[in-house]
């Protein structure tokens, strides 16, 4: 399966943003979250632009392209969340605790453990947006913290913010899982 994930990174320019994003994508692949990735500055015959068209290579987070990438990532993440939470609610209504424990249900899609695992992922196929450290952005609050350069842990607590002079960038990548 292919999907387009996005990394939100702090950098002085596009080149540094791409380096930071590649570090995020490399980490996700090294940790076996994804098999491989292709950024949109690469000419690959089966991935990246060849699969998804001309997405921006790098965009400032507050640009129209950046906003579209970020909003699309959050919308896809929310859709995944809603799908799995709906499945879990249905399963809990349909089966007793004992039936769930003994796996006495009629299909794989009724597997409470699978659905709960998908819902609980911090990185992987249910997360479409990642922060500068490679953590999956699962909630609007996490996204607000990333876009404020973690004001809540720096300025609000009187600490020096290492990101204060950096710009916020978003970099998409086609990943295979």
Q: Which tokens hold the place of 125?
A: 């196929």
pLDDT tens digit sequence for 114-163: 899 999 999 999 999 999 999 999 999 999 999 999 999 988 788 999 99
Contact (CB, 8 A) for 26 and 18: no
pLDDT tens digit sequence for 67-113: 999 999 999 999 999 999 999 999 999 888 988 888 877 676 678 88
* Strand runs labelled E in 12-144: 36-39, 59-60, 129-130
- DSSP-assigned letter for residue 3: E
- DSSP-assigned letter for residue 156: G
Single pTM value for the model: 0.90
Tokens 């004992």 correspond to: 98
- DSSP-assigned letter for residue 167: E
């Amino acid at each position: 399966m292919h999907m387009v994930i996005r990394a939100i990174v702090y950098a002085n320019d596009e080149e540094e943003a791409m380096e930071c994003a590649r570090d995020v994508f490399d980490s996700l692949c090294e940790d076996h979250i994804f098999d491989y990735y292709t950024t949109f500055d690469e000419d690959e015959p089966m991935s990246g632009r060849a699969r998804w068209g001309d997405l921006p290579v790098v965009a400032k987070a507050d640009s129209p392209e950046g906003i579209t990438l970020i909003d699309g990532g959050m919308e896809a993440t929310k859709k995944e969340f809603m799908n799995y939470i709906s499945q879990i609610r249905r399963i809990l209504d349909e089966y007793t605790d004992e039936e769930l424990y003994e796996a006495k249900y009629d299909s794989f899609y009724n597997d409470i453990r699978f659905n709960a695992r998908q819902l609980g992922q911090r990185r992987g196929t249910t997360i479409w947006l990642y922060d500068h450290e490679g953590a999956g952005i699962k909630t609007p609050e996490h996204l607000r913290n990333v876009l404020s350069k973690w004001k809540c842990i720096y300025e609000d607590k009187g600490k020096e913010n290492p990101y204060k002079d950096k710009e916020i960038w978003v970099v998409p990548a086609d990943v295979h899982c």
